[in-house]
Amino acid sequence: MKRTAFTHFHEKLGARMEEFAGYLMPISYEGINEEHLTVRQKVGVFDVSHMGEFWVKGPHAAELVQKITTNDVQALFDGKVQYSCFPNGKGGIVDDLLVYRIDAETYLLVVNASNIEKDWNWCVQHAQAMGMEIGKELYNASDEMAQLAIQGPDALKVMQSICDAPILDMEYYTFKKVNVAGIDNAILSTTGYTGSGGCEVYIANEDADKLWNAIFEAGAAFGIKPIGLGARDTLRLEAGFCLYGNDIDASTSPIEAGLGWITKFSDGNDFIDRPLFQQQKEDKPARMLKGFEMLEKGIPRHGYSVVDAEGNTIGTVTSGTMSPLTKKAIGLAYLDRAHAKLGSEIFIQVRNKQLKAQVVKTPFF
């Protein structure tokens, strides 16, 4: 089992550690609800060093990224980040990812930990078809980089005190190369997976201790705390963000998943599966991923059936939890289009009971 450059800190702090995507990761420190509210109200720090990082460089870099991702790389500029996904050539999704444009011939792709090998092989396949040099023009830096996500309303205030450049006015989904805690050329991006603002910082593994110690020293006055993957999941669900393997996978299209906004049919954007997704958007998908809120007592879970008032199956729950912030049971589900309108009454099959729920907007707060 792999360890991140921060694992020794988690163990010293007494975190509950479990295997996740081949890594020993902290699930919680003092409890998911407490950690969740820390991020919503103050500032928390996640070790996300298990994520994958691929560098794409050279004269074919933009062409490759444009081909294998659904968003429009032509819209990027130096210092801009884009949320996107890899279509799999069969109408589904290989993975969702972040695309960083360093310059016109340099991009950083950040992929999910559980999909690193699959994503790498997918990128290699298409890079080789363009004659790119693997290991040079396409490079897997996943084992060399460490990453922390500093999230919450006070996150940028904490980070500003240890950065050598202004970051408080950075726009959402942009990044800067800055000196953080004495570490040169750290990548600081105003991205995250919580819906509470903040940033993510990428550094080399050997600088991990310096970064961790500086952040927690600077954040002490703000009530900063380390946060585990348990709260990361409840936070992302409360924000209505998709989780690969639950809400999106090889059998779901971005159009069905409500990710039409990262599926750009602009001129020159001839990505894999474009004609299929374009037709699906025009015809409207038969099912759609929607948020719902329980109206009766019960917690929805991944895989639970969704039925109508007559007991006919109309969908499947993909994610569900009790929201620590709203104290309501919430979830995401693929629903037949006829039942996917806001306000629609649906029923979640929880064991032998059909519990009433309602389709609502996301985020849930």
**DSSP secondary structure string, 132-147?**
--BTTTEEE-TTTEEE
Average pLDDT of every residue of the chain? 98
Residues 41 and 182 in one domain: yes
Residues 57 and 37 in one domain: no
8 A C-beta contact, residue 339 and residue 308:
yes
| Mean pLDDT computed over 197-214 | 98
Residues 346 and 204 in one domain: no
Residues 232 and 147 in one domain: yes
What integer pLDDT is reported at residue 37 of this predicted model? 98
Give residue 262's Cα distance to chain centre: 13
What integer pLDDT is reported at residue 320 of this predicted model? 98
Residue 248 lies in a domain: no
Alpha carbons 183 and 199: distance in angstroms, whole number: 16
Task: Work out the pLDDT band at 251, boundaries 50, 70, 90.
Answer: very high
Task: Work out the pLDDT band at 281, boundaries 50, 70, 90.
Answer: very high
Beta bridge partners of 198: 151
Residues 121 and 149 in one domain: no
Supply the CATH number for residue 212's domain: 3.30.1360.120
| Mean pLDDT computed over 39-50 | 98
What integer pLDDT is reported at residue 147 of this predicted model? 98
Residues 215 and 315 in one domain: no
Q: Which of 249, 279, 241 is nearest to 263 (CA)?
A: 279
Residues 34 and 77 in one domain: no
8 A C-beta contact, residue 293 and residue 329:
yes
| Mean pLDDT computed over 161-183 | 98
Residues 148 and 234 in one domain: yes
What integer pLDDT is reported at residue 92 of this predicted model? 98
Residue-wise pLDDT for 99-112, tens only, equals 999 999 999 999 99
In sequence order, the 6+-apart residues with CB closer than 8 A to the CB of 215 are 45, 148, 150, 158, 159, 162, 181, 224
- Structural domain including 82 reads 52-129
Residues 21 and 107 in one domain: no
Task: Work out the pLDDT band at 187, boundaries 50, 70, 90.
Answer: very high
Beta strand segments in 195-294, E = 198-204, 225-227, 287-294
- What is the number of structural domains in the chain? 3
Output the six-digit token pair for 13: 């702090």
Task: Work out the pLDDT band at 89, boundaries 50, 70, 90.
Answer: very high
Residues 38 and 68 in one domain: no
Residues 147 and 232 in one domain: yes
Reported pTM: 0.97
